Amino acid sequence: MFDKNFDDMQTEEMREYFKQMNNPYYLYAKTMTNLYDEVYQPKTPVIENLLYSGTYLFVGAPKVGKSFFMAQLAYHISSGLDLWNYKVNKGTVLYLALEDDYARLQHRLYTMFGACENEKFFLATQSNQLNGGLDKQLEGFIENHPDTKLIIIDTLQKIREISGDKYSYANDYDIVTKLKKFSDNKNICLLLVHHTRKQQSDDCFETISGTNGLLGAADGAFLLQKEKRTASKAILDVVGRDQQDQRLHLEFNRERCLWEFIKAENELWNQPTDTLLESVSKIVNLESKEWTGTATELISNLGLDISPNSLTRHLNVNADRLFNEYQISYESSRTHAGRQVTFKLIPKEQE
């Protein structure tokens, strides 16, 4: 959907590729102009304003309720049910519950959700390790379930190899970097369940077990903590590259084993409406699902006073907003007639 035009690739990327082949020390870098002329695949929300495609840590002390939270996330996303006041985008979920067995999972899910059927929620209690073919297993699953939105690995410790430097910054960073490369290539969310350490810190995220390499390589993290282990109330701190920092107050319903929302400490900031994107959404809709033409033709169609370059660069930078807010995919390619743009409406069920 966001691939470059082959002619553009030949005139830019292929030239750079052959330069690099002839000189192993050649450093490929883009100019700011080149950067604005690219259309990058958008980060898609799994849970809007909360969880996006990428690799995230979900951290908490042992027995704090992380596995119940993971099951709740998986059920809501695979069922398409909003989580509290957060909108969910439905898709297949794979939950690697590597510290559980199927009997325990059966009882847990029945307590939480009753006898509901769900054909998009998959669970496994065993997998290969990270350097032992886990990526091939996950690739195979995604190939069979192309609408996969989320893969939960519970816990990270179960898939990492034991070595003398397993808690070094370099090793921690390398582990998450490998998983992030996979999630980015597949445009899915990987959620890695992990533990906190006992030592306290002024920054709650510094209590993550291991080194700062884990958080440094991840796209974000969720930290679930209670004042006392026996307490029912907890705080969920959220940080990330693609969402705003948040602190949520939750309460554990012991009868149903579900986390319930109490309040959020901070209000989320919403981006103001983009008038250009709003204009595009009026010509690409359920009645007219596709539009193709030159940038100049688009300017004329929308009645704008803007240069073709400025138009396409604005669209390039905001392709993620156009897709996530209006379900419109955007492509840009260079032709003999000039820069050509294509818009297609992608209904939710076809994403």
Q: How confident is the model at residue 28 (pLDDT cuts 50, 70, 90)?
A: confident
Structure token digits, residue 56: 């995230």
Sequence spans of domains, the chain: 6-39+274-350, 45-264
What contacts 25, CB < 8 A, 6 or more positions away? none
- Is residue 21 scored above 80 in pLDDT? no
Q: How confident is the model at residue 350 (pLDDT cuts 50, 70, 90)?
A: very low
The CATH-assigned architecture of domain 45-264 is: 3-Layer(aba) Sandwich (3.40)
Q: How confident is the model at residue 204 (pLDDT cuts 50, 70, 90)?
A: low
The predicted model gives 51-80 an average pLDDT of 95
Per-residue pLDDT at 344: 94
- Cβ density class 9-30: b for 16+ within 10 Å, e for less: eeeeeeeeeeeeeeeeeeeeee
Per-residue pLDDT at 229: 77
Short-list 160, 100, 98, 151, CA closest to 132: 160
How many angstroms separate the CA atoms of 260 and 283, rounded? 41
Q: Which amino acid is at 347?
A: P
Global pTM reads 0.84
Q: What's the distance, CA 285 to chain centroid? A: 26
The predicted model gives 214-228 an average pLDDT of 89
Q: What are the tens digits of pLDDT across the range 312-328?
A: 999 999 999 999 899 99
Per the CB < 8 A criterion, the answer to whether 326 and 281 are in contact is yes
Q: At which residue do the structure tokens 């704090």 appear?
A: 64
CB atoms within 10 A of CB 54: 23
How many angstroms separate the CA atoms of 209 and 221, rounded? 13
Instruction: Report the range of poorest mean pLDDT among 42-46, 72-76, 95-99, 209-213.
Output: 209-213
**Three-class DSSP labels, the chain:** CCCCCHHHHHHCHHHHHHHHHHCCCCCCCCCHHHHHCCCCCCCCEEECCCEECEEEEEEECCCCCHHHHHHHHHHHHHHCCCECCECECCCEEEEEECCCCHHHHHHHHHHHHCCCCCCCEEEECCCCCHHHCHHHHHHHHHHHCCCEEEEEEECHHHCCCCCCCCCCHHHHHHHHHHHHHHHHHHCCEEEEEEEECCCCCCCHHHHECCCCHHHHHCCEEEEEECCCCCCCEEEEEEEECCCCCEEEEEEEECCCCEEEEEEECCCCCCCCCCHHHHHHHHHCCCCCCEEEEEHHHHHHHHCCCCCHHHHHHHHHHCHHHHHHHHCEEEEEEEECCEEEEEEEECCHHHC
